[in-house]
Amino acid sequence: MADKGVTIAGGKSLYAHPLRNAVLGELHARPFTPIETPRRVLLFAFVGGAAQAQADREALTALCAMRGMQPPPEGAKHHRSKFDGGMLRWESHAEFSTYTWELPSDAGSGMPFSPKAASLATGMAQIPQPGPLLVAIDLHLVRDPGKDLTFQKFFDFASLAAADNSDGAAMFATDFKPDDDGFIRILVVNRSMTQERVGALVQRVLELETYRTLALLGLPEAQRISPAIGKIERRLAEVTDELRQSGDLRSNHKMLDEITALAAGLEADAAASAYRFGATRAYYEIVKLRLDTIGERKVGGLPTWTSFLGRRMAPAMRTIATVEERQSRLSEKLARAANLLRTRVDVALENQNRDLLTAINDRGRAQLRLQQTVEGLSVAAISYYMVGLVSYLIKGAHEYGLKFDISIATAASVPVIVAVVWFIVRRVRRRYVSEH
């Protein structure tokens, strides 16, 4: 559907933001459906992501065509369709989808939860299962019998939770336990509610049980990673104790590698559980919001849903929150330990490099002295050979007829030859240094 704008004076239209209709429609996407009393409502919730959503929608479309019901629009995430005096409500959420079957009045006119829900779920049997089943609810809406109900006939009294709504116009009860067929039974007694108010109460009660179950999916994940967190905590304590006693570079390198491996393992578990823990917090907030919206009043000496879930569910939520907090704090401790070790390694490397540079400097000075010594010996050796050559020239000149003392002439040439050789060697060394 095109995004509808706004028409103002003169017939001028103001074009709409592309998401305006979607945002405005979200508030009215799942309105409460008026429900007659008595009624039987079966809800099934299946876990499945976006990959299964399209197949789920296609299966629903096929069911609607087979039973002559209105199919869901393309891309719809929620749909209602009437059938044989009842209604099917389908909703697709981020990680689950629900099928809510409001069965005809005669299915809820007898004794509570009779006949069994399994015999009434014929429509669900005609749909390919879209994913693992997580929630199955059998809600029975009945009129006020005018006398106290014997809850023991339908529920485990040890786990029974019951309450009136805020004005006492209805009562709802459950024991949160699956029956022989796997359904969680919920009994709603309508004393004086209109169909609209009954529809709102029934939907909120169904959402309570659905989101309660989804919220508790975080507990097995917390229990799974808790031992790994404890192991990392113990090893970190051992490594930090070793850190106080060890000072050599090799040990610090080894401990840094181990700290890095521990941090990598912790972050992998944290990344895997981040979505689950975040979803658990969101679902738990919805549960508390629904309870606050209903507003409970005690029925006899029975615990209300709020007190029962506070006693049974809140500890699980605290466990999940504690594991998530331990992950966060342990990550910070590992980061601090890694930074400390990295600093010690860097300081040790700097000291090692300083000692190495000092050794190189000392070696350079020794090489320079050796070079100067070799240079002096080279000047002496070259000069010695040059003097020998000059002495041959002097002797030849003497034999040729020049009159001078050979020894004196040879001795006089020595200083000159040494000076010339020394000058040439020094000049060659300077040129080499300047080029390199």
The answer to whether position 180 is within a domain reads yes
- Maximum CA pair distance of the chain? 160
Torsion-angle region of 301 (φ positive above 0: left; ψ -120 to 50: alpha; else: beta): alpha
Task: Quote the pLDDT of residue 279.
Answer: 92
Asked if residue 129 and residue 104 are part of one domain, the reply reads yes
Which range, 118-127, 152-161, 183-192, 266-275, is most confident? Answer: 183-192
Task: Quote the pLDDT of residue 206.
Answer: 95
The answer to whether position 360 is within a domain reads no
Count the domains in the chain: 4
Last-in-domain residue among 355, 373, 393: 355
Report the SS3 class of residue 91: strand
Closest to 263 measured CA to CA, from 348, 327, 171, 210: 327
Q: Would you say residue 104 has pLDDT above 90?
A: no
Burial class of residue 306 (count of CB atoms within 10 Å of its CB; 0-12, 13-18, 19+):
middle
Task: Quote the pLDDT of residue 26.
Answer: 65
pLDDT tens string 222-281: 999 999 999 988 988 888 887 777 667 777 778 888 888 888 888 888 888 899 999 999
**Cα angle: 15, vertex 21, 26; to 5 degrees:** 160
**Cα angle: 246, vertex 331, 219; to 5 degrees:** 130
Query: What's the rounded Cα separation, in Å, for the pair 215 and 291?
Result: 15
Report the SS3 class of residue 140: strand
Summary mean pLDDT of the chain: 84
Lowest pLDDT segment from 119-128, 312-321, 422-431:
422-431
Determine phi and psi for 116, rounding to 5 degrees. -65, 150
Closest to 217 measured CA to CA, from 98, 312, 316, 287: 316
Alpha helix stretches (DSSP H) within 129-217: 195-215
Q: Calculate mean pLDDT across residues 123-147.
A: 87
Task: Quote the pLDDT of residue 28.
Answer: 65
Which residue do the tokens 């508390």 mark?
288
Asked if residue 308 and residue 207 are part of one domain, the reply reads no
Query: What's the rounded Cα separation, in Å, for the pair 206 and 213?
Result: 11
Query: What's the rounded Cα separation, in Å, for the pair 417 and 436?
Result: 29
Query: What's the rounded Cα separation, in Å, for the pair 313 and 309?
Result: 5
Residue type, 378: S
Task: Quote the pLDDT of residue 107.
Answer: 64
Query: What's the rounded Cα separation, in Å, for the pair 340 and 30?
Result: 55
Regarding beta strands 133-143 and 13-14, do their DSSP bridges make them parallel or antiparallel, or are they unpaired?
Answer: unpaired
Task: Quote the pLDDT of residue 30.
Answer: 66
Query: What's the rounded Cα separation, in Å, for the pair 237 and 51?
Result: 44
Q: Calculate mean pLDDT across residues 377-401.
A: 79
The answer to whether position 35 is within a domain reads yes
Asked if residue 59 and residue 194 are part of one domain, the reply reads yes
Q: Calculate mean pLDDT across residues 279-290.
A: 93
Asked if residue 127 and residue 93 are part of one domain, the reply reads yes
pLDDT tens string 54-99: 778 888 888 888 877 778 877 778 888 887 778 889 888 888 889 9
Asked if residue 116 and residue 141 are part of one domain, the reply reads yes
Asked if residue 44 and residue 109 are part of one domain, the reply reads yes
Task: Quote the pLDDT of residue 216.
Answer: 93
Q: Would you say residue 319 has pLDDT above 80?
A: yes
Which residue do the tokens 């786990």 mark?
159
CA distances from 119 to 40, 126, 138, 216 (A): 12, 13, 12, 29
Task: Quote the pLDDT of residue 246.
Answer: 66
CA distances from 140 to 105, 106, 165 (A): 11, 12, 16
Query: What's the rounded Cα separation, in Å, for the pair 6 and 4?
Result: 7
Asked if residue 155 and residue 36 are part of one domain, the reply reads yes
CA distances from 295 to 137, 151, 174 (A): 22, 22, 16
Q: Would you say residue 8 has pLDDT above 80?
A: no
Asked if residue 224 and residue 210 are part of one domain, the reply reads no
Higher pLDDT, 350 or 162: 162
Last-in-domain residue among 322, 355, 388: 355
Task: Quote the pLDDT of residue 259.
Answer: 85
The answer to whether position 140 is within a domain reads yes
Domain with 112 in it? 31-214
Q: Would you say residue 2 has pLDDT above 60?
A: no
Task: Quote the pLDDT of residue 219.
Answer: 93
Query: What's the rounded Cα separation, in Å, for the pair 274 and 284?
Result: 16
Report the SS3 class of residue 238: helix
Last-in-domain residue among 179, 214, 249: 214
The answer to whether position 411 is within a domain reads yes
Asked if residue 192 and residue 54 are part of one domain, the reply reads yes
Closest to 252 measured CA to CA, from 235, 239, 264, 263: 239
Q: Would you say residue 198 has pLDDT above 70?
A: yes
Q: Tell me the β-bridge partners of 102.
A: 41, 87
Asked if residue 225 and residue 86 are part of one domain, the reply reads no
Asked if residue 109 and residue 188 are part of one domain, the reply reads yes
Q: Calculate mean pLDDT across residues 326-337.
A: 89
- 106 is written with which tokens? 């005669």
The answer to whether position 6 is within a domain reads yes
Closest to 260 measured CA to CA, from 278, 283, 285, 235: 235
Q: Would you say residue 1 has pLDDT above 60?
A: no
Asked if residue 393 and residue 290 are part of one domain, the reply reads no
